[in-house]
Structure 1
């Protein structure tokens, strides 16, 4: 059995340079425990039947479900929806990059086009207008599919429909390398993807010099009535040959994993963190960060910059549609952080780290 325990192992486009005085990557102490050796691409592995032992909070029981049925709301009040026309949307051409440049472009929700180490990587790609059980997108996709360069890899955080979209993935060539949580490889192989790499927490693989590390998250998985927590969930740390790092959190609540990830992967240049789908808190706090928690997570990670995501695309919960942006900006200022380091992009916006 290969399972290991959790403790083993703005303007639409702008350019930002590394600040003077930031220590060089070599100045950081080596992580402890040491990073795992990369596993082979496309390796076939055996996994436990379920991952309930990785939950950091119990899933809602019958009492919570009954309360939600009585009082829970999955949509904002009408005044909370009135700001939909004001949601930031500014599609622009993808920036030109070289192999030593890191750039990110927000297509919406948790879908990013990450250019790193000469690769184009998609995170949780959802280019569909609608996902199962959810109203249509309230902002269009920010990056047209035909405008994408060749996709070199895809990373998936977990199997919920707003992060794993079959219709979008059908657009990809079947030899596209995909990096997925433990247990999710079968889903891709059934769809004839030929290079599917499944990883447990704290494991890694490498593609063309870029390292893909799978890290824990405070979340869960489910895609049907009978597969609760049958596959793992998590985030990804991408590291290029120069040591530049981008952390993609996927979907997660706030908790202890952020500080542990920050210690294991020091010098994160950019953290892509979710700030939406948090209301009501009694129902969603264990699995979705609110804006204030996302800022705290960025600090726990030791990330130099934060880019908010997972808001302003699909209506998944009851907070007003613009509230996540307003609150994350206010919390960033309250925390005394440099405004330039909050990359609050519009859908379709890009930033470049030189």
Structure 2
């Protein structure tokens, strides 16, 4: 297949004023969605994606300040609640091909059933990742209990989202949807069905569309590959129009309102709420709980499921604080309590097709 290069358009990178939006679908996507890219397409990418950063990476002054006063773990009081972290492993629910179902395996790892497919997001089944203590809650679903995996989506290449030991467990012909520039990582590991996408591009698998959307983050896996691959979130849409947004890892900013305009009618947003303290260090790349709720409103999501907390200790906030704050923020926003899917690790929720249609009116 002929190699292609797809740089982002100037309009895709222009800033947009963000603001909380009423969670309701718009009349039509704007701008129109591009046609789906071919699966497994060979593409040529720029060497770096530094131009996609929405905030500068920390410089020497910030690194020096972090060395003086930064904290990477909560204090003793903040760690004391580890035994109270919600964890309720249970068998995966049986669902039909028209249901939308999610199961939280921990951190940013979900088992998503949509359009008859089983999709893993940022699968990390390892007990430990590079540079952090062991996970403080067990994996919510044993690997042996998973149904056949139809596809994997990856948000970016940080070790808590791209875990080589977990991915080695998958058959090498598993379809993988990855950010631009990350395909070579999978090809070196002999994955044969890898589709790399730029922001605002999509591809289709068995009637489900996978769209890669922007995030306020960055990428790095070694000392010499900063921003050599892209980062972002994913919007999954089935043939009935059921739509799920997986935000990946992101700070708060202008992209969310634009995602909501281009992908109206999001039924469920999987939003990160942890790893946010200290704010002066992490606010550009990680939402705090209040910002996660605001972002869910900006994308027009009908429901939100928190993630990226209660699994690995990556920052200094007390371990239960993200859950407490997101519940308070949801209530203060005047949203229905049943639409906040604050699941324990291992728990599932299902939206039957009929219930979705009724909710849409």
Q: What is the TM-score when the length of structure 2 is the normalising length? A: 0.92
Summarize the alignment of residues 1-354 of structure 1 with structure 2, pairs less than 5 Å apart. Answer: 1-5=5-9, 7-8=11-12, 28-354=26-352
Displacement of 1:246 after TM fit?
0.4
User: Any idea what the Cα deviations from partners look like across 1:262-294, whole Å, max 9, x if unmatched?
Assistant: 000000000000000000000000000000000
CA distance in 2, matches of 1:61, 1:4: 26
Structure 1 residue runs without a partner (length 5+): 10-21
Structure 2 residue runs without a partner (length 5+): 14-22, 353-361
Contact 1:6 1:202 survives alignment (8 Å): no
CA distance in 2, matches of 1:220, 1:353: 33
Partner of 1:16: none
SS in 1 for 2:57: coil
Displacement of 1:6 after TM fit?
6.5
Contact 1:127 1:168 survives alignment (8 Å): yes
SS in 2 for 1:137: coil
CA distance in 2, matches of 1:103, 1:211: 16
CA distance in 2, matches of 1:6, 1:109: 34
CA distance in 2, matches of 1:147, 1:115: 15
CA distance in 1, matches of 2:289, 2:180: 29
Displacement of 1:8 after TM fit?
4.4
Question: What is the aligned residue count?
Answer: 339
User: Any idea what the Cα deviations from partners look like across 1:178-233, whole Å, max 9, x if unmatched?
Assistant: 00000000000000000000000000000000000000000000000000000000
User: Any idea what the Cα deviations from partners look like across 1:297-333, whole Å, max 9, x if unmatched?
Assistant: 0111110000000000000000000000000001111
Moved more, 30-39 or 245-254: 30-39
Contact 1:214 1:235 survives alignment (8 Å): yes
CA distance in 2, matches of 1:108, 1:59: 27
Contact 1:6 1:201 survives alignment (8 Å): no
Displacement of 1:3 after TM fit?
1.9
SS in 1 for 2:105: strand
CA distance in 2, matches of 1:109, 1:250: 10
Q: For the aligned residues, what is the CA RMSD?
A: 1.2
CA distance in 2, matches of 1:7, 1:77: 45
Displacement of 1:33 after TM fit?
1.3
Contact 1:308 1:345 survives alignment (8 Å): yes
SS in 2 for 1:168: helix
SS in 1 for 2:305: strand
Q: What is the TM-score when the length of structure 1 is the normalising length? A: 0.94
